[in-house]
Amino acid sequence: MKQHDLDFKIVPELPGVYLFRGVGDVVLYAGRATDLRSRVRSYFSGRLASDRGARIVDAVEQAKRVEIIPTDSVLEAYILEANFIKKYKPAYNVVDKDDKSFQFVGITKEDFPRVLVVRGRNVEQGITSMEFSHIFGPFPRGGMLKEALRVLRKILPFRDSCVPHDRASGKSSRMCFRAQLGLCPGMCAGLIDKKAYAKRIREIVLFFSGKKKQLIAMLEREMKQYAKEREFEKAEEVRRRIFALTHIQDVALIKKESIDTGSVPGVRSFRIEAYDIAHLAGKDTVGVMVVLVDGEMSPADYRTFTIREAVSGDDIGALREILERRLRHSEWPLPRLIVMDGGKAHLDAAQNILTESGIAIPIVSVVKTEKHTPRAVLGAPMFARDYEHAIIRANAEAHRFAITRHRQKRSRGMFQ
């Protein structure tokens, strides 16, 4: 296939999967990308042989067309790639296909099924005492599968190792550590029955089958039914799960892919939101949000929040208010990273709000000296290290914008 056969402008700069198709539209090679345009373009560079080897050069030369399938997240691209490799068994994915060190996701046949990572050689040779109702994969080598499951279980908690509570014994059981973190439904403490957990497993099966739209439709029906029955807390819990599935945040997965593939870790639409609060002796309190996209300020996305008098002067209360109000705006794109101004108390408060909302976004907090200069960055160590310059810049801009808005509010008050 020649470069001039492709119009790269119509290839989206989004995560997704690409298929090189040959004679008879047979799939020769399936791959995934965090940025489809950049990845597909790389196959037509003069360095392809040295970067990818003769096998991939041959696949590109035999290809008649490239099929592009965008996804909403890198996590979904990762799962879809595995589904295509299993379905088509592409000849030029032979290294992945024949390497017995690749991995699968297995769902066990039990009253309370476990979701486990299983090595390929164990599945193919039957070297396991467990029976599985579902097997998904093969997934490429590296730590990406574990990272993918870590992202998913924050949205759809599942069992992997805890012992289910024996109701017949009449004894109470304590929640396992993962249940305390909200990553396990709590069958260890009798918090969920077999019927309800079977529904969770169906949700996970749909997701790993690449049927997210069907999964969300099912959850929306469930949410409406709860609302109709006036079980509003349950309806709200399902709504949060829908929101999290619609706005999957997989920054760590993107970073892991960059490490595993040796690609440049820079990511397009990398959005950072920074928050700050300003007041004078507890009066005229305002909160602000500023936005950086790809390291550039995006003033059109800045927002100002007038704080209720009830929490005016209370930085933590004001922080909770502005984050809760911001998260109600599902039409605003969610950030890849949140930057707070303050210490550990501010960091913890922000993390609690996101946890309550069922949203997984890394958070850092900038600690200042008495002269209001940055002293340290707390939280999300990987991001604090790799994006320190952008974090400090966003924090400074949030402080500037908060002071400006506060002064404007005071000025208006003086002339009323």
Q: Whose structure tokens read 């305002």?
A: 286
Q: Whose structure tokens read 């024949």?
A: 98
Task: Please give the pLDDT value at position 263.
Answer: 41
Residue 309: pLDDT over 90: no
Separation CA 377–CA 364 (nearest Å): 6
Answer yes or no: CATH 3.40.1440.10 is held by domain 3-93.
yes
Separation CA 65–CA 62 (nearest Å): 9
Give the confidence band of 310 by pLDDT, cuts at 50, 70, 90. Answer: low
Rounded to 10 deg, the angle between the 144-155 and 232-246 helix axes is 150
Which is higher by pLDDT, 89 or 309? 89
Q: Whose structure tokens read 């005071």?
A: 410
Strands of the sheet with 16-21, listed across from one edge: 27-33, 16-21, 65-70
Q: Give tens-digit pLDDT for 99-149.
A: 455 788 999 999 999 999 887 666 655 545 678 899 898 886 556 788 888
Separation CA 30–CA 20 (nearest Å): 7
Task: Please give the pLDDT value at position 303.
Answer: 93
Phi-psi region of 304 (alpha: psi -120 to 50; beta: other; left: phi over 0): beta
Separation CA 4–CA 112 (nearest Å): 54
Task: Please give the pLDDT value at position 268.
Answer: 45
- Do 346 and 353 contact (CB within 8 A), yes or no? no
**Residue 229 has what DSSP assignment?**
T
Answer yes or no: CATH 3.60.20.10 is held by domain 271-414.
no
What token pair was written down for 210?
A: 């690449």
Separation CA 257–CA 307 (nearest Å): 41
Task: Please give the pLDDT value at position 339.
Answer: 95
Task: Please give the pLDDT value at position 58.
Answer: 86
DSSP reduced 3-state for 100: coil
Q: Which value, to the nearest 10 degrees, does the dihedral of the CA atoms of residues 23, 25, 26, 29 take?
A: 100
Q: Give tens-digit pLDDT for 167-197.
A: 666 666 788 888 888 899 999 998 999 999 9
Amino acid of residue 19: L
Domain edges within the chain: 3-93, 103-252, 271-414
pTM of the predicted model as reported, rounded to 2 decimal places: 0.59
DSSP reduced 3-state for 166: coil
